[in-house]
Structure 1
Amino acid sequence: MVHRVETPLGKILRERILGEGPMTFRDFMDQALFHPELGFYSKGPEIGSRDGTFNTNAMFPAFAFCLARAVEQAESIIGEPLRIVELGAGTGELGTGILSFLPTAREYVAVEPSSGLQHKQKARGLAAVKTVEDLSPRPSFVFGNEVLDALPVHRVMNDGQGNLMEFYVSINPQGGFEEILGEPSTSALSSRLQSEGVTLGRGQMAEVCLELDPFIQSIASIISKGYLIFLDYGDEALALYHYTRRNGSLRCYFRQQQVHDPFNHIGEQDITADVDFTALDKAACCSGLGTAGQAWQGTWLKNLGIHQFQPKGVDPKELQNQIEQLTNPARLGSTFDVWAWRTPNIPLPPGFS
């Protein structure tokens, strides 16, 4: 029998399933991450900070330096000031870092659904709103660093007879969480895969994020002129859903360790899945934005001038290690892809021209 640590949120979800029946994995993931009081992100984890849960881009000053350069270059390209909008700003460390490298004050807004993280962002002096719907259309530089991989996903599988089935979260006779297969909760799941030319192999599991389209549409609506940039891990559809990836890409992180059981430490661990860049690009283009570039993170940061980052009082070896961590293909340099879009009739964004 699998031993799992019980949590307050786990108890709530168990009672809900027992009372209302199985829920889609998408709904379970949404609650595990974004339950108003007990979700992982709602509690305000130390995301991207030196003392935090994850060692990612946001903890490196050189990364903030490059994004500040990207903002300055974007304003130079467009010829006017841009509002900076960070999607999912974590603890606010990256935002304050970016502002520290800009020579003059800028309007900087964090879009953050988590009240816990909002509190931390505001404590650092950042303006924060719950959703992009709280913002009006403006010339903007909008970016998200590891945001899309946290959007809730449906889990599906080819049942071996050519039928697409969906995983639901249920409770077994012993009172534990388990996944069961059922008919898809929406025809949009098969429609998405068919539109991308994807056919899952026999017994192959996969994740499908239907949140991308409304999410990107809402973001595009606030950019009257400017750029949208995402840094995240994922792949284009034919590679993401290749038959060799039989178990999908879902994974969890608990206290800096990768784990594989989403039903353990519910509300206390992150749950994530690779981004479907094909669906992402289509969503952006359908929202009126034009594809402006795609590159590995290391290449993009080098194009922005990361090697010009020379802060005073920093040990040269430490500085070199920081740049290597961000740009080396064996480290984060190829872990993350950078995708960019632009509003009509403006030049390519910084790092892609």
Structure 2
Amino acid sequence: MDDTTDRPRRPDGTDATAISARLAAQIQGEITAAGGRLPFDRFMEMALYAPGLGYYVAGAVKLGRGGDFVTAPEISPLFGRCLAAQCAEVLERLGGGDLLELGAGTGTLAVEVLHALEHRDALPGRYLILEPSPDLQERQRMLIQERIPHLAERCVWLTRLPSHLRGVVLANEVLDAMPVHRFSIRADGGIDEVFVAECAGDLREVTAPARSSGLADAVAALHAEGFARAPGYGSEINLRLPPWMKALGDTLDAGLVLLVDYGYPRPAYYQPDRTMGTLMCHLRHRVHGDPYTHIGLQDITAHVDFTAVAEAGVAAGFDLAGFTTQASFLIGCGIDRILSDAPDAFDLTPGAKQLLLPAIMGERFKAMGLTKGIEEALCGFAIRDLSGRL
């Protein structure tokens, strides 16, 4: 019986299973070219971002009820309205400026932030969007044109970071999708790296002495701090974070980089009982731990080491403006007042609970602010600053 009608398809009708097979073949080709073992970060990069094939750049529905996961902007418009409050504060102190959103998803956050800033009479000069997915770019344009057509001219899509920016950079659930290296500790205390190999047409992971540039030194630095020492301990480390942060530092002349994501300070990230790391995959609202299935059809993420983010930010010339939970950040931005002033407050209350409750998003997600040229405290970190835990 022909079962092609049951196969997953992208919005353009393309057979997603065939796309996945092409991506797997491309990865296997790289494994062969690399001598039989591919560093995990390169595998993750290809699975997520290979041109035309990777999860984030192919056309499959990713966000929302029909996708694989839901982010805060889709849960409630209150999230974007609160971020707008923080943006307005920074833009006022700078005397104006632009906003830059990294990875704008469906465009929902852009719509809510712009709409709320218009209501506050604090619109930016431009709303820049750096989005690697052509498919998502088109969805963002359509949503912005549908919801706020009178503000569409302010929106500009970029293919690379601008050379100069004064304003705010927004990165909601961006860091967790950056490719990571994975490592494990041998019985003799040596450092192994996790590689991806091919066996009988399937992908599997193998370990061997670390060979990726900087990995052994980075894990040794963790050892010096007392982390990740036990034989058998395995985790991840984001070696791409420092150059990424440096690029942001070179771009932002003055303003705020606001990062919201799930993660921990380093002592919690590498706590002794977290022996398998934090890597996880999302497929149709289910979470599992096998990145080698459904290649290109599922999200692959790792939690964020916010201590590493702060260190990279300071090294790139930023000041650490604050670090707190998502709940505390939203409260600092006035979510209670924004909710009470909303004409549809009753309808917004369930979403507010999802954003704020500790067991859902309130404590799991964190917010970090990195600034240049701003001396005053920021409202989002006024309620509870946890920078001392980094």
**What TM-score, normalized by structure 1, do the two folds share?**
0.92
State the shift of 1:23 in Å: 0.6
2:39 is matched with: 24
State the shift of 1:194 in Å: 3.1
2:291 is matched with: 262
Moved more, 32-41 or 307-316: 307-316
1:72 is matched with: 88
| Within-5 A mapping of 1:33-48 | 33-48=48-63
Q: Deviations over 1:248-270 (max 9, x none)?
A: 11110011111211010100000
Please point out which of 196, 211, 224 is paired with 1:185.
211
Please point out which of 307, 315, 321 is paired with 2:350.
321
Task: Say if 1:307 and 1:323, in contact at 8 Å, map to a contact too.
Answer: no
The whole-number CA distance in structure 2 between the counterparts of 1:328 and 1:282 is 29
Task: Say if 1:285 and 1:291, in contact at 8 Å, map to a contact too.
Answer: yes
The reply to whether residue 351 of structure 1 matches residue 380 of structure 2 is yes
1:62 is matched with: 78
State the shift of 1:282 in Å: 0.7
State the shift of 1:8 in Å: 2.3
State the shift of 1:119 in Å: 2.5
1:242 is matched with: 271
Q: Tell me, what secondary structure is at the counterpart of 2:111? A: helix
The whole-number CA distance in structure 2 between the counterparts of 1:199 and 1:53 is 31
The reply to whether residue 292 of structure 1 matches residue 321 of structure 2 is yes
Gaps of 5+ in 1: none
The whole-number CA distance in structure 1 between the counterparts of 2:202 and 2:141 is 39
Q: 1:250 to 1:79 in 2, by over 3 A?
A: closer
The whole-number CA distance in structure 2 between the counterparts of 1:165 and 1:79 is 47
State the shift of 1:16 in Å: 3.2
The whole-number CA distance in structure 2 between the counterparts of 1:53 and 1:100 is 27
State the shift of 1:319 in Å: 1.6
Sequence identity percentage: 31
Q: 1:302 to 1:99 in 2, by over 3 A?
A: same
Moved more, 149-158 or 195-204: 195-204
Please point out which of 281, 306, 309 is paired with 1:252.
281
The reply to whether residue 223 of structure 1 matches residue 237 of structure 2 is no
The reply to whether residue 207 of structure 1 matches residue 236 of structure 2 is yes
State the shift of 1:51 in Å: 4.5
Q: 1:144 to 1:96 in 2, by over 3 A?
A: same
RMSD: 1.9
The whole-number CA distance in structure 2 between the counterparts of 1:348 and 1:195 is 32
The whole-number CA distance in structure 1 between the counterparts of 2:63 and 2:80 is 12
State the shift of 1:283 in Å: 0.5
The reply to whether residue 161 of structure 1 matches residue 188 of structure 2 is yes
1:110 is matched with: 129
Task: Say if 1:158 and 1:165, in contact at 8 Å, map to a contact too.
Answer: yes
The whole-number CA distance in structure 2 between the counterparts of 1:36 and 1:136 is 24
Residue type matched to 2:32 in 1? L
State the shift of 1:348 in Å: 2.2
Moved more, 222-231 or 26-35: 222-231
Q: Tell me, what secondary structure is at the counterpart of 1:351? A: helix
The whole-number CA distance in structure 2 between the counterparts of 1:222 and 1:45 is 31
Q: Tell me, what secondary structure is at the counterpart of 2:361? A: coil
The whole-number CA distance in structure 2 between the counterparts of 1:97 and 1:44 is 24
1:9 is matched with: 23
Q: Deviations over 1:279-312 (max 9, x none)?
A: 1111000011011111100011011111123476
Runs of 4 or more above 3 Å deviation: 44-52, 310-313
Task: Say if 2:91 and 2:167, in contact at 8 Å, map to a contact too.
Answer: no
The whole-number CA distance in structure 2 between the counterparts of 1:249 and 1:234 is 9
Residue type matched to 1:53 in 2? D
**What TM-score, normalized by structure 2, do the two folds share?**
0.83
The whole-number CA distance in structure 1 between the counterparts of 2:345 and 2:353 is 14
Residue type matched to 1:111 in 2? L
Q: 1:278 to 1:79 in 2, by over 3 A?
A: closer
Task: Say if 1:342 and 1:349, in contact at 8 Å, map to a contact too.
Answer: no
Q: Tell me, what secondary structure is at the counterpart of 1:102? A: helix
The whole-number CA distance in structure 2 between the counterparts of 1:52 and 1:73 is 34
Q: Tell me, what secondary structure is at the counterpart of 2:257? A: strand
Task: Say if 2:90 and 2:167, in contact at 8 Å, map to a contact too.
Answer: no
Q: Tell me, what secondary structure is at the counterpart of 2:183? A: strand
Residue type matched to 1:160 in 2? A
Q: Deviations over 1:72-96 (max 9, x none)?
A: 12223x1411211111111211111
The whole-number CA distance in structure 1 between the counterparts of 2:128 and 2:229 is 40
1:140 is matched with: 167
Q: Tell me, what secondary structure is at the counterpart of 2:380? A: coil
Residue type matched to 1:109 in 2? L
Gaps of 5+ in 2: 1-16, 145-151, 383-390
Residue type matched to 2:134 in 1? S
Q: Deviations over 1:185-220 (max 9, x none)?
A: 235112223334134311111111111001111112
The reply to whether residue 195 of structure 1 matches residue 221 of structure 2 is yes
State the shift of 1:39 in Å: 0.3
Residue type matched to 2:78 in 1? A
